[in-house]
Structure 1
Amino acid sequence: MYNNKKILAIIPARGGSKGLPGKNIKPLCGKPLIGWSIEQAQASEYIDEIFVSTDSTEIATVAESFGIKVPFLRPSELATDTSPSSAFVLHTIAYYRTKGQEFDYILLLEPTSPLRDVDDINIAIEQLLNHNTAKSIVGVSKVEATHPAFLVNISKEGLLKPYLEEMKVLRRQELNDLYFFEGSLYLSETDYYIETQSFYHNLTLPYVVPKYKSYEVDDIVDFYIIEKLLELKLNNILK
């Protein structure tokens, strides 16, 4: 609880990953991938309840080994490749309401972003709940090598064409700052999420993370990169 507001953390973990099968429970620096997000949520004094949303008995068993009760598996219709994330979030909110439990805010922590810290969670909560108008906050990171100024198209003739107005390579110092949604955390006022069914809208704050924390596990290459970054972080080389 923070500022007398109750917070529910939802950790989504489907069993059917195609890019890296079994990724949510794949061992990463000594613990299953999902374990990093569970322990980060457990370390936050602001979070009142942690719910793991999964369609996999194997993932549920791993979550329970970290002290998280998984009262049911996510319905199959909410666990397909095309199921919107809002569906299982709304389903989770509805489940708690049937139990008479209300939460003022919901926090979504993807297991695929293990490089976040509990400090990231706590600071994001503080920033949103102390803001006068914002209804949500999401993780973003600064665009660097993929800045639009560096992008080109290939014409029908096989020639490079600038994505922007002219073929001009700028120095990074000359670029306007742009950010991308990096996925490490999503926090919203519960009622506003139910209304919009999204963490993204005109009342969304940015929570800016450094480049290394923006890496997500989508495939085996990502996994090995993150494994090395996590090793550096655990050895206090990355801050």
Structure 2
Amino acid sequence: MKIAIIPARGGSKRLPGKNIKLLGDKPLIAWTIEAAIKSNIFDHVFVSTDSKEIASVSKDYGAKVPFLRPAELASDTATTNDVVTHLISWFEKEYGQEVSNIAILQPTSPLRNAQHIIEAFEEMKTKHAKAIVSVCELEHPIQFCNKLGLDGSMDGFIELGDMKRTQDLDSTYRLNGAIYIFGREYVGRMIELYSMGTFAYIMDSKSSIDIDTKDDFNLAEYYNLYK
């Protein structure tokens, strides 16, 4: 059984109500639900939430919301690992079937579409991967980044060997939060995902937008309008 889990807490401090805020003609979370269903990969698409409102909207767009999260999974300290472990344990007990693959699809990545999900699963199959994690290229070279001292000094900020033209530096990548796919063995120990057997699925920067603030939301609206 292949299961998609869309984690969506009701609380959002920087952009309140973001998961059901309208992006274009539908709530933010609907973009991910529709992409998961359209991919035709999953036996079940679940939304894990502590919000009755998010649950109602999610059901309207075709996701399953069998319960609201218990209080201990609705706090700021609850991890995705905790949420996944709880839902998979419930599913296997309720359905009497073992899960083979799990995909975590964050609702804050609305421009990740069905084709991205399909391609990520194809890569997992082709590479016989234990897990696939989506990334995108860094917008600026990591060699041009560093910490600043308390006084703002830039002494040693850039190593002499990194003083090159941007085009002469190797590409570097970052997690974009859009797609995580892994086998049943990682349930309860997702911290071990970044190890031998896990491969990157590379996405473009536009599709990788992760909505956390109002500015992010505005940018997603712009990209959606002019896609």
3-state DSSP class of the match of 1:212? coil
Q: Provide the C-alpha distance between the structure 2 equivalents of 1:232 and 1:27, rounded to a whole number of angstroms.
A: 17
Indicate yes or no: 2:23 matched with 1:28: yes
Indicate yes or no: 2:139 matched with 1:139: no
Amino acid at match of 1:184: A
What CA RMSD, in Å, does the superposition of the two structures yield over aligned residues? Answer: 1.7
Listed as ranges, the matches of 1:87-102 within 5 Å are 87-99=82-94, 100-102=96-98
Contact conserved, 1:149 with 1:170, CA < 8 A, in 2? no
Contact conserved, 2:84 with 2:188, CA < 8 A, in 1? no
3-state DSSP class of the match of 2:62? coil
Q: Provide the C-alpha distance between the structure 1 equivalents of 2:115 and 2:122, rounded to a whole number of angstroms.
A: 10
The percentage of aligned residue pairs carrying the same residue is: 41
Q: Provide the C-alpha distance between the structure 1 equivalents of 2:138 and 2:51, rounded to a whole number of angstroms.
A: 35
Contact conserved, 1:7 with 1:46, CA < 8 A, in 2? yes
Q: Provide the C-alpha distance between the structure 2 equivalents of 1:127 and 1:177, rounded to a whole number of angstroms.
A: 21
Aligned residue among 126, 130, 152 for 1:130: 126
Task: Check 1:158–1:118 CA distance in 2 against 1; reply closer, same or farther (3 A cut).
Answer: closer
Structure 1 residue aligned with 2:105: 109
Task: Check 1:29–1:159 CA distance in 2 against 1; reply closer, same or farther (3 A cut).
Answer: same
Aligned residue among 180, 187, 191 for 1:194: 187
Indicate yes or no: 2:176 matched with 1:166: no
Contact conserved, 2:4 with 2:36, CA < 8 A, in 1? yes
Using the TM superposition, give the Cα deviation of residue 197 of structure 1 relative to its aligned residue in structure 2, in angstroms.
2.7
Structure 2 residue aligned with 1:75: 70
Q: Provide the C-alpha distance between the structure 2 equivalents of 1:168 and 1:194, rounded to a whole number of angstroms.
A: 40
Using the TM superposition, give the Cα deviation of residue 157 of structure 1 relative to its aligned residue in structure 2, in angstroms.
5.7
Amino acid at match of 2:201: Y
Structure 2 residue aligned with 1:3: none
Contact conserved, 1:153 with 1:162, CA < 8 A, in 2? no
Q: Provide the C-alpha distance between the structure 1 equivalents of 2:173 and 2:116, rounded to a whole number of angstroms.
A: 17
Amino acid at match of 1:194: V
Q: Flag structure 2 segments of 5+ consecutive residues without an equivalent.
A: none
After superposing on structure 2, the runs of 4+ consecutive aligned residues of structure 1 that deviate more than 6 Å are: none
Contact conserved, 1:153 with 1:161, CA < 8 A, in 2? no
Q: Provide the C-alpha distance between the structure 2 equivalents of 1:202 and 1:76, rounded to a whole number of angstroms.
A: 35
Contact conserved, 2:4 with 2:103, CA < 8 A, in 1? yes
Q: Provide the C-alpha distance between the structure 1 equivalents of 2:2 and 2:53, rounded to a whole number of angstroms.
A: 27
Using the TM superposition, give the Cα deviation of residue 101 of structure 1 relative to its aligned residue in structure 2, in angstroms.
2.5
Aligned residues: 225
Q: TM-score, normalised by structure 1?
A: 0.88
Q: TM-score, normalised by structure 2?
A: 0.93
